[in-house]
Amino acid sequence: MAKIISDTNSNTRGISHYMQILGPGILGAAAAIGGSHLVASTQAGANFGWQLVGLILLVNVLKYPFFQIGARYTMAANETLIQGYDRIGRGFLYLFTALNMVVSVISVAGVAMLCGSILGLFIGDDLSITQLSMIVLAASLIFLLTGHYKTLDRVTKWIIVGLAVATISAVIIAFNKGEAAPPDFISPSPWNLASVGFLVALMGWMPGPIELSTWNSVWLRQKKKLNSSLDVKDALVDFNVGYATSTILALCFVALGALVLHGSGTSFSTSGIGFANQLVDVYATVIGEWSRWLIALIAFLCMFSTTVTVLDGYSRSLSECFVQFSQAQGSGPTGNGSKYTYALMIVMGIAGAIIIMFFKGALLAMLELAMISAFIGAMVFAWLNYRVMKLPQVPEQYRLGRALNVLGLAGILFIVCFNLLFVYWYLFVN
């Protein structure tokens, strides 16, 4: 790597080069660092201390091949995963679309409600969480429909950097201060049937829903059109930076929950603004009261970018699906995959608003539903991604190696087995 960076005479790949090619992978990280990190990871640490660190690492490792395939397949076949699914069989594309239509509106509602909760810290009690969430949804739609998404693409990496610096700093300070739990405190165990629902929710968005790989695929194909020199190495570096960032931050949020909240007697508020206050309190308690509004601003910008990214990603991938339905099965990209994108954004925003009104500010219940639905859908999305790499459109040199193949099969088996356990828990234990 040092030799490559130092070689400035021919097609160099220095820091400036990689800063330019970062994009789809960082946007994917922005979408992932939402409910799974700010909420589920913090809850994991607060409720169970350090006991779920291994599970979070395991899930990130087992899901890695399915997310990476979004970049790998696009660069290898010069088409999105959507066309790949259609090549497997039109029925699979119908199934992917149907599942995506369900989980998309639930996910949009979940991240918008969390963002609205943080917005409430600045506005106060004048507006309800439902009204605040509507404001977030409306602002996100305006942002996208007026073509300002390129601005988000440019600033997202700096929002992520700000959140990462604040979170890692808080973890370091909290380590130095020591854990809040008294020495005789006995942590409850997550390894029982009663905790299955929480574990499934935690894993559903850890580090994000697997269908997020199709967004990366669509964004990457667009970026490839604008930058013809983009190659597989660039795409994988971009993806790996985003994936590693989201994984590290997930562990940091677990650490904050374990160090600051675990054993303190604090229970999470189920209301949106109440939870947002608790989240910012964690940082302010560790870093200092002076940081409260700075952290609130960073958290809001992070969640707003997540809401915008989720709206854009789901609508673009679904638009690709609907355009593909009008083509012959197995045909390649048509060039007008974004034909229905804006219409889908509006429909998704309206549907998300209806769901938010139904939940009436019950943030944690809303997010739990979104995360669980993502883990159930992961059975289909993981298999489709694994299968698409076997298509003849993928040259041999781009296919998964032995290690990633084994990891992919292990990931599918893990997801299926845990879903069966969830069904048992839901029917007989819950």
Residue 280 CA to residue 286 CA, distance in Å, equals 10
Match 């069904």 to its residue by tokens. 423
CA-based angle 66:418:84, to the nearest 5? 25
DSSP-derived 3-state class of residue 288 = coil
pLDDT value for 330? 76
The whole-angstrom separation of Cα 221 and Cα 227 is: 10
Q: How many structural domains are present in the chain?
A: 1
Length of the chain: 430
- Cα–Cα distance between 190 and 199 in angstroms, integer? 8
Q: Give the C-alpha distances (Å, rounded to integers) separating 332 from 72, 100, 371.
A: 17, 21, 32
**pLDDT single digits (tens) 293-328:** 988 888 888 888 889 888 988 998 999 999 999 888
C-alpha to C-alpha distance for 259 and 278, rounded to whole angstroms: 14
CATH number of the domain where residue 63 is located:
1.20.1740.10
Quote the pLDDT of residue 415: 96
The pLDDT value recorded for residue 411 is: 97
Between CA 201 and CA 426 the distance in angstroms is 13
Euclidean distance between CA atoms 62 and 415, whole angstroms: 9
Distance CA 61, CA 69 (A): 14
Question: Which residues of the chain register pLDDT less than 50?
Answer: 1-12
Please check whether residue 307 is in contact with residue 116, taking contact to mean a CB–CB distance below 8 angstroms: no
pTM over 0.85: yes
Q: What is the per-residue pLDDT for 9?
A: 39
Single-letter amino acid, residue 64: Y
Which residue segment(s) compose the domain that 245 sits in? 2-429
Q: N- to C-terminal Cα distance for the chain?
A: 52
